[in-house]
Chain A
């Protein structure tokens, strides 16, 4: 199923909160329809630890499922439609 989805990526490595929260929210807002309907999956790459809290909390409040993974030297925050 994942293979059929549009994979969106937002690379904000080097940015710090709250700027990265605003940037991530802008990306989510832009693709909200696709994301809510489950046609797309957004991966946010960040190396700012606070962002792994603020982005998931806000995205969940907006009705998305969020998963956070640690990858090498940065984090991947995956935003998708609620199951």
Chain B
């Protein structure tokens, strides 16, 4: 009995103990579950036996081990990240500081100290940023940190300066996990070198622009025409004088190829295209309004800084008038010399010719003279008379009288001249037409100008020969009246054109012309201060252009 009772008591005690252990384990499991964020176990979910079989403490211990391992890994990663960030913070080329809401400096790097902290000041952690960075007792209203702190938006200050350095400031908000602004991260980018380079560039650009403007003014004010091309031959500059001489506006020429423009000018410059350097080459050209020009052209190649060919500069002067004056001068001098010579010869020949004629006539009075001798004497007399006539013309040429100037209506002079030529025109099937413009009267010797017109028109009629057209045109140009006599004859070769105004030069058969007509005309026109020139292409007729100046006081009367 006693043994049974003891056994029963031992069994009861064991059960009680197991019960206590179960309760203890359940309590500890629930505690751990609560730590893990789970609700406690309910007896109906798991009875004690199932709970013990599950080994909950073992499970949770295993899980906690993994949680701790994970935390260790996370801490290691955080440490590495922190160290990396610190290294970047210190080594970055920009100044960085972190400022709290009270504008105290929490953290800053050495670059920030170099840019903003005055020399001799120690650690500034915990000090007010406005005192340390800006030397001010309180933050300015335009402080970017204040702006970012208030608005939560980043702010950029393009340029700020301190300690002789220039920098850009960027402030960005520092927020906590819930988006509240805890402070400001201020980043400074040192732009001193960039600014210096930019200032130097601006200065250089200003200098360049000033020089460019000066050069442009100089080019535009030059009296010489100037064309500049790039290395491909495209025209990149065309000054005022070039416009004025050629008649082409700058806008029409810029961008054109050099050779294309020279073709437009009919510039006789085959040599120019092939040569890089020219000095005062005399070239003929035509202006936009088809005026014949004589240009003195120079050309120099341009080089860049490395000595490479970078373009070409052409400069030119219009020497048309100069050339014409020169020709007139030579012609006048030649005429004067020939006049003197002719007068001398004429005077010396006149006396013997007079004797020859006189004695021939005296002999012809003899009534017994055989008929063949009479005939010979008549030939002698006739030739003496002819020689005398030539001498008379020579004397006329030599004694060209000084013009007697009076107000003269050129159109009326032309009409009178054509009346004189009526018989000559009537002999031929030539249509002579006039296009007489409303020209101003000029100061001229009417008789001499009539002589010029008759001579030139007669030449045109003789050139056209049997059938064709002659057009006489008058027009005004600048301060001159231009008389043009155009014919549809065979034209005049270049060789003849250059000598056509020379005295005694003639293309007519021997004995039919003295070669003095056009020479006398040139002399008269020259004495009037004008010019006569011929334009012609073989096979395409010829044009004589007589330019006579309008006298100032006659100009005012119209």
The residues of A with any CB-CB pair to B shorter than 8 Å are: 16-19, 21-23, 25-26, 28-29, 32, 50, 53-54, 57-58, 61-63
Contact = CB atoms under 8 A, between A and B. Distances in A.
A25 B73 contact: no
Interface string B34-76: 0011111100011000000011100110110011011001100
B58 to A, nearest CB: 8
B33 interface: yes
Contacts of A25: 59-60, 62-63
B547 to A, nearest CB: 99
Given A54-B36, A54-B38, A57-B37, A63 B69 contact: yes
Contacts of B66: 28-29, 32, 62-63
A29 B59 CA distance: 7
A79 B401 CA distance: 130
Nearest to A26: B59
B70 A21 contact: no
Contact of B38 (A18, A28, A32): A18
A61 B56 CA distance: 18
Contacts of B46: 19
A50 B39 contact: yes
Contact of A29 (B33, B45, B62): B62
Given A17-B38, A18-B41, A57-B37, A62 B60 contact: no
B41 A19 contact: yes
Given A16-B45, A28-B63, A21 B38 contact: yes
Given A22-B56, A61-B70, A63-B73, 12 more contacts: A18-B45, A19-B41, A19-B45, A21-B33, A22-B29, A22-B54, A23-B54, A26-B62, A29-B63, A54-B37, A62-B67, A63-B74
Contacts of A26: 54-55, 59, 62
A21 B40 CA distance: 11
Scoring A23, A57, A61 by chain B CB atoms within 10 A of each residue's CB, the highest score goes to: A61
Scoring A16, A32, A62 by chain B CB atoms within 10 A of each residue's CB, the highest score goes to: A62
B67 to A, nearest CB: 5
A29 B57 CA distance: 12
A22 B70 CA distance: 19
A28 B63 CA distance: 8
What are the 4 closest A-B residue pairs judged by CB atoms, nearest first? A63-B70, A29-B62, A62-B66, A18-B38
A32 to B, nearest CB: 6
Contacts of A29: 59, 62-63, 66
A21 B39 CA distance: 10
Nearest to A57: B37
A73 B74 CA distance: 36
B59 to A, nearest CB: 5
A58 B54 contact: no
B265 to A, nearest CB: 79
Scoring B33, B55, B73 by chain A CB atoms within 10 A of each residue's CB, the highest score goes to: B33
A26 B46 CA distance: 15
Nearest to A29: B62
Nearest to A50: B39
A62 B63 CA distance: 7
A63 B106 CA distance: 33
B57 to A, nearest CB: 10
A20 to B, nearest CB: 9
A29 B54 CA distance: 13
Contacts of B62: 25-26, 29, 32
Contacts of B36: 21, 54, 57-58, 61
B42 to A, nearest CB: 8
A58 B59 contact: no
Contacts of B33: 18, 21-22
23 contacts: A17-B39, A18-B39, A18-B41, A18-B45, A19-B41, A21-B38, A22-B33, A22-B60, A25-B59, A25-B60, A25-B63, A26-B59, A28-B63, A29-B62, A29-B63, A54-B36, A57-B37, A58-B37, A58-B38, A61-B70, A62-B66, A63-B67, A63-B74
A25 B54 CA distance: 11
